[in-house]
A and B are shown apart, each in its own frame.
Chain A
Amino acid sequence: MIEVKGITKYYGHFKALDGVSFHVDKGEVLGFLGPNGAGKSTTMKILTTYISASEGTASVGGHDVHAFPQQVRRRIGYLPETPPLYGDMTVEDYLKFAGHARGLRGAELKRRLESVVTDCGLRPKFKARVVELSKGFKQRTGLAQALIHDPDVLILDEPTSGLDPRQIIEIRKLIERLRENKCIIFSTHILQEATAVASRLVIVNGGRKVADGTVEQLAAQSSDTLVVRVLVKGGDDALSESLSRLDTVKSVEKQQGPSGYTRYLLTVSGGQRGSREACEAVALQVQSRGFLLAELAPEKQTLEHIFLNLLQKAPMPEKPTWKAEDKPAAQTEKDAAPAATSAVPDDPNATAAATRLTQPATETDLYHPVDANSDTATDMGEKPDPDKTLFSPRPPDRGDA
């Protein structure tokens, strides 16, 4: 339903998007993932015809966004990064306005209004003025506006930003309910979000696509070292010694556990499989040495790992890519094209050798493992972590350009 082919966008001389291509089918929920300033919003603005791509084509439902903007807009429901609300209107008036503007009238408008108010949980604030709403209700009103005409394609720019965990779950559930017969793209820099809702992920960084696939596919692409946490009743240095001799174990760190217990942190190679093998061997080893295994916790390969790993692997520009001023645009584009293709790891074997960011084991506490039932969101952008340096610098603030 959505087909994006090699879109590039310059803001002045700044290259915000660099040959991004992807497609989304009906019934799919695409998670659009990337650090701040990666080009997520720019891509969405191009798809919604708000801005025009400098190069490349994009189509929605078979209509080219540039040639047939009206047809495209009719099919799209769009929630911009900031919900587009008129503060002086009531929720009711605002949604009626949105419906009218979408060509809904009379009984149909009433029916749709009922539907979105129920879906978005706006009933309690239906008569309230928008300016008096809490952030969560504002976001929901913005979402209701995007849904009022029951569009085939839903484009949501960070639909859960600034919401509390309970509200995030509500929005997620709503997306779950809507996914049938629709094609949904939502952007986020919150990783759980992407795994919880999206059927497929596209990861962008520095204006380039660095990965595209299901979570499983991305995990397979990303060769990884993982941490296994072992808690043993008793335990000694000799055990530590023998654990470190296991096949997939790279290193062992012995820590003080609760009284009478010893904790071992094992760094294992070989991804999920290596981790499973290590667990089996550890269980055997501990028992054969006469200790009791109290806890064996293999860290799941989290999306954070995959994400950081992919960002690491992709050849990253030292600084934001600027168009060379003395070169004609076409030539610059030609130069940039090979770099863009090599940025996407097509061959999993080739990428296996790539170096990975070594994370201290304690990071597993910082980044909660992905858990579908987890209510809390890990907001990567907010943490004062060293990984921030991984992300390319944010492009200069250019307003809404």
Chain B
Amino acid sequence: MLPIYMREMKGYFESLMGIGIIGAFVVVMMMLSVMLDPLGGGGDWFARGELSMRTFFGVFPWVAAVVVPAVSMRLWADDRRQATFEMLMTLPIPTWKVALGKYFAGVTFLAAMLAGTVAYPLMLSQFGQPDWAPVIGGYIACFLLGAAFVAIGLFVSGLTENQALAFFLGMLICLGIVGMGEMRGLLGELARTNPESALMLLISIPLVSIGFLAAAVGRDKAVGVAIGALAVIGNMIAYAWSGAQDTASKATNSEDIAATVETATRGTTQAGEIVVSALAQIAVLDHFSEIQRGVVNTNGLVFFAGLVVFFVLLNVWSLESRRYS
């Protein structure tokens, strides 16, 4: 595993690409944190008279959903493009070890990216007495979420020799997962007014995603592109819908979720209930914000570890099954 890890680390840091991504990430994170802060807290720092990292951790999931797939896209796709893939798959190292070597390299790079942003809290600390506990909690949450995204990116990268495709596919999945929290609020509202369409949306989203993945793994790229476009348009419609909703109606705590789940299922079938509660379970942002608030419970850790294990296994499985195609 170690040789693979070392090799990938070289791949990251011996090219300007790696340094460039870290630099761009740090700059974007700081800029967004400063620029979006007035929107979140009601008034800017000076008017409020307080400095916080709230916006920083608030935008991280969205930025990570774009940047992490860019980091992980090369992990397998680069090898698949060259003959090195053939070499890796014929080395006396089991595929899962190769995959883990690559995964840990991606996670290390993520850690380097996060370390680069430490400049921001340090800068803020110049202006007052910061409470470091939530900052550390926030960084742990960011790392865990990012680590899950690396696993997703690793899996997607193994599906194709096209890095750009790996990036877009990874970004779509990560954005979808981050957006799920928002979606749930929307669905809750929708379920109150129109249970049937809520159920349909709930069923169609995973179907479209699965279709997209299947097409990406399969040979017919045209079908993949068509389904991909469908997924993107579907997402856009969903977000436009979400924007039209009153933001106040978003369900933000678990009582609300339970309530909306109840409303959603009242008029619909038992299957609908299962899907909605499953969606509530995989709302990544809940776990993210919990850990960020300092509630590092086993539930959250198991959730992120589960995501990582699931996608690394999926990656190994997809590479192994290639031998039989």
Question: Which residues of A line the B interface, CB within 8 A?
Answer: 11-12, 45, 48-52, 70, 73-74, 76, 78, 80-89, 93, 97-98, 100-103, 145, 399-401
* Cα separation A45 to B87 with both chains bound (whole Å): 11
> Which of A74, A81, A401 is in CB contact (< 8 Å) with B83?
A81
Contact status of A11 and B325, CB under 8 A, knowing A97-B7, A101-B3: yes
> Which of B10, B11, B90, B161 is in CB contact (< 8 Å) with A76?
B90
* Cα separation A89 to B84 with both chains bound (whole Å): 13
What chain A residues lie within 8 Å of B94 (beta carbons)?
A: 70
> Which of B15, B82, B324 is in CB contact (< 8 Å) with A52?
B324
Does B2 sit at the interface, judged by CB under 8 A? Answer: yes
- B92 to chain A minimum Cβ distance, whole angstroms, is 4
> Which 8 pairs show the lowest CB-CB distances between chains A and B?
A84-B87, A100-B3, A82-B83, A84-B83, A73-B92, A74-B92, A101-B3, A84-B84
- A221 to chain B minimum Cβ distance, whole angstroms, is 34
User: What are 17 A-B pairs at a CB distance below 8 A?
Assistant: A11-B325, A49-B323, A50-B90, A50-B323, A70-B94, A73-B92, A78-B90, A84-B83, A84-B85, A84-B86, A84-B87, A86-B11, A88-B15, A101-B3, A101-B4, A102-B92, A399-B161
Closest chain B residue to A89, Cβ basis: B10
> Which of B11, B83, B91, B323 is in CB contact (< 8 Å) with A51?
B323
Contact A401 B325 (CB under 8 A): yes
What chain A residues lie within 8 Å of B323 (beta carbons)?
A: 49-52
Contact status of A50 and B325, CB under 8 A, knowing A89-B10, A101-B3: no
Does B89 sit at the interface, judged by CB under 8 A? Answer: yes
Contact A88 B14 (CB under 8 A): yes
> Which of A51, A76, A82, A100 is in CB contact (< 8 Å) with B6?
A100
What per-residue 1/0 map shows which CB atoms of B71-85 lie under 8 Å from chain A? 000000000101111
Contact B89 A50 (CB under 8 A): yes
Does B225 sit at the interface, judged by CB under 8 A? Answer: no
* Cα separation A89 to B219 with both chains bound (whole Å): 32
For B7, B10, B87, the residue with the greatest tally of chain A CB atoms inside 10 Å of its CB is B87
What chain A residues lie within 8 Å of B91 (beta carbons)?
A: 73, 101-102
- A42 to chain B minimum Cβ distance, whole angstroms, is 12
* Cα separation A331 to B6 with both chains bound (whole Å): 49
**Which chain B residues (54-110) contact chain A, with CB distance < 8 Å?**
80, 82-87, 89-94
Closest chain A residue to B98, Cβ basis: A101
Contact A93 B10 (CB under 8 A): yes
* Cα separation A400 to B92 with both chains bound (whole Å): 20
Across chains A and B, the number of contacting residue pairs, with CB separation under 8 Å, is: 76
Contact B90 A48 (CB under 8 A): yes
* Cα separation A80 to B219 with both chains bound (whole Å): 23
> Which of B85, B87, B93, B219 is in CB contact (< 8 Å) with A400?
B85
Contact B92 A50 (CB under 8 A): no
- A173 to chain B minimum Cβ distance, whole angstroms, is 24
Closest chain B residue to A83, Cβ basis: B83
What per-residue 1/0 map shows which CB atoms of B1-36 lie under 8 Å from chain A? 011101100110011000000000000000000000
Contact A49 B82 (CB under 8 A): no
Contact B86 A400 (CB under 8 A): yes
Contact B82 A82 (CB under 8 A): yes
What chain B residues lie within 8 Å of A86 (beta carbons)?
A: 7, 11, 82, 84
What chain B residues lie within 8 Å of A74 (beta carbons)?
A: 92
Closest chain A residue to B322, Cβ basis: A51
* Cα separation A83 to B94 with both chains bound (whole Å): 21
For B3, B10, B86, B322, the residue with the greatest tally of chain A CB atoms inside 10 Å of its CB is B86
- A397 to chain B minimum Cβ distance, whole angstroms, is 12
- B82 to chain A minimum Cβ distance, whole angstroms, is 7
Contact B92 A88 (CB under 8 A): no
Contact B86 A80 (CB under 8 A): yes
> Which of B14, B15, B84 is in CB contact (< 8 Å) with A85?
B84
* Cα separation A296 to B89 with both chains bound (whole Å): 55
What chain B residues lie within 8 Å of A84 (beta carbons)?
A: 82-87
Closest chain B residue to A51, Cβ basis: B323
Give 18 new A-B contacts, CB below 8 A, not counting A52-B324, A89-B14: A45-B86, A48-B90, A49-B90, A49-B323, A50-B86, A50-B89, A50-B90, A70-B94, A74-B92, A81-B83, A84-B83, A84-B84, A88-B15, A89-B7, A100-B2, A101-B3, A400-B80, A401-B325
* Cα separation A320 to B261 with both chains bound (whole Å): 57
- B216 to chain A minimum Cβ distance, whole angstroms, is 14
What chain A residues lie within 8 Å of B83 (beta carbons)?
A: 80-85
Contact A73 B90 (CB under 8 A): yes
What chain A residues lie within 8 Å of B93 (beta carbons)?
A: 101
- B80 to chain A minimum Cβ distance, whole angstroms, is 8
Contact B10 A88 (CB under 8 A): yes
* Cα separation A70 to B92 with both chains bound (whole Å): 5
What chain A residues lie within 8 Å of B15 (beta carbons)?
A: 88
* Cα separation A85 to B84 with both chains bound (whole Å): 6
* Cα separation A372 to B14 with both chains bound (whole Å): 46
What chain B residues lie within 8 Å of A400 (beta carbons)?
A: 80, 85-86
Closest chain B residue to A103, Cβ basis: B92
> Which of A73, A78, A97 is in CB contact (< 8 Å) with B3?
A97
What chain B residues lie within 8 Å of A11 (beta carbons)?
A: 325
- B279 to chain A minimum Cβ distance, whole angstroms, is 36
What chain B residues lie within 8 Å of A87 (beta carbons)?
A: 82
What chain A residues lie within 8 Å of B7 (beta carbons)?
A: 86, 89, 97
What chain A residues lie within 8 Å of B10 (beta carbons)?
A: 88-89, 93
**Which chain B residues (286-325) contact chain A, with CB distance < 8 Å?**
322-325
What chain A residues lie within 8 Å of B2 (beta carbons)?
A: 100
For A11, A50, A85, the residue with the greatest tally of chain B CB atoms inside 10 Å of its CB is A50
- B94 to chain A minimum Cβ distance, whole angstroms, is 7
